[in-house]
Amino acid sequence: MDKVALLTGQETTLSRVEVEHIAELAKLSLTDEEKERFGEQLSAILEYAEVLQRLDTEAIPPTATVLPLRNVMAADEVRLSSSREDILANAPKTENGCFKVQAILE
């Protein structure tokens, strides 16, 4: 019995069918050995989630982030831009001062 099972008093064990179903949902092709190993690992994760569910969080306010918010965006500044001719100079095809691309219709 692992540490989490000792804390919860019970073991959560996924069946082989459940592991295969999860693998199918994730579009994974697993060997028998991988099914066994991942089954044990997923079961341990679920057991730990059960421990977390039992924690009393009433005194803790809902939090979107634990990090302080700060704006990392630069201020907008009006600057000179390149001319239309300079921008279109490297375009493979142009028409009426715009990029010309092949139409993609389905």
Structure confidence by residue, pLDDT tens digits, 15-43: 999 999 999 999 999 999 999 999 999 99
| 29: amino acid identity, one letter | S
Whether 2 has a pLDDT exceeding 70, the answer reads: no
Of 17-21, 96-100, 102-106, give the lowest mean pLDDT range.
102-106
DSSP H helices in the chain? 3-8, 16-25, 32-53, 84-88
106 lies in some domain: no
Residue 77 lies in a domain: no
Domains contained in the chain, number: 1
- Residue 45's domain spans which residues? 3-53
Residue 41 lies in a domain: yes
User: Does residue 61 lie in a domain region?
Assistant: no
Separation of alpha carbons 18 and 42, rounded Å: 10
pLDDT digits (tens, 9 = 90+) for 60-86: 888 878 888 888 888 889 999 999 999
The verdict on residue 89 lying in a domain is no
Question: What is the CATH classification number for the domain harbouring 47?
Answer: 1.10.20.60
How many secondary structure helices (H) and strands (E) does the chain include? Answer: 4, 2
What confidence score (pLDDT) does residue 24 get?
Answer: 96
